[in-house]
Copies of this chain bind each other. A is one copy, B any other.
C-alpha cells in the first residue's frame, strides 16, 4: 500500500508518519520510485503500536525509540525483551537527595525484602517508588506508609493475572506487543478504576467524616452525591 492508505489504516496523519520514519520509530517501506514507497501490514501494526506508546503510554519520541530498540533488539527471548522494554518505559524523576529521600530509599529496600520479591537493583521503578515515598516523608504524611503492603498485594495479583493472560498468547510478536502495551495501559486502567472505587466508597463514608473546620460553611449536608440526577448507578454491590 502507499503512504496515504497506511495513514488511513493506522489513523496517523501522513506528516506524522514521515516524522516517525525520520526518527526511526517506523522502518522504511520498499522504495518503488524516487518519491514512492510501498508499505505492508507490518507497517500498519508498528504504527498502531507507536501511537499507543506515545498517546496512552505518554512516552516521548526518544523513549519510544528506546522501548522499540529493547523490544526488537537481537539475542533475547520474548519475555526478556518485554522486561527490558518495561525498564525503558519508566520516566526518570528528578531526585533531591535530602533526608526524606534517604528514608524513602531505605523504606523501599525494606519493603522489597519484607515481600521476599526478586527485584533487581537496576529496576527503575525503585526510584519511582522512593520518589513517591519521599514526598510522604516531606509532607509528614507517614501514616500512609501503612497502606504499602496492601497495595503490594494488589499489585502482585494484577501482575500474576497479567502473566497468566499473556501465557494464553502463542504468537511471540503479539505476546511482546501485548506485554509492552499492557504495562502502560494497566496503570491507566487501575488509576481510573481506583477513582471509580473512591467515589463509590465515599457514598458510604460521608456520614462518618470528622467535623468540618471552622473555615467551612457547615450549612450544607455532607452527603456526597449533591446532585442525585447525575448518579449513573445506585445499585449496591
Contacts and interface: CB of A to CB of B under 8 A. Distances in A.
Interface of A: 11, 48-49, 52, 55-56, 72, 74-80, 83, 86, 90, 93-94, 96, 98, 109, 112-113, 115-126, 128-129, 131-133, 135-136, 138-139, 141, 143-144, 146-148, 150-163, 165, 167-175, 177-178, 181-183, 185-203, 205-206, 208-213, 215-217, 219-222, 224-226, 230-237
10 nearest A-B residue pairs (beta carbon): A77-B222, A125-B195, A159-B197, A155-B193, A129-B192, A154-B154, A116-B237, A75-B217, A117-B200, A128-B192
A193 to B, nearest CB: 4
B117 A237 contact: yes
Contacts of A49: 139
A156 B237 CA distance: 11
Given A56-B132, A83-B202, A197-B156, A209 B144 contact: no
A235 B186 contact: no
A233 B75 contact: no
Nearest to A132: B188
A225 B118 contact: yes
Given A56-B131, A155-B193, A158-B194, A141 B230 contact: no
A146 B165 contact: yes
Contacts of A172: 209-213, 216
Contacts of A156: 193, 197, 200-201
Contacts of A163: 198, 201-202, 205
B52 A135 contact: yes
A222 to B, nearest CB: 3
A199 to B, nearest CB: 6
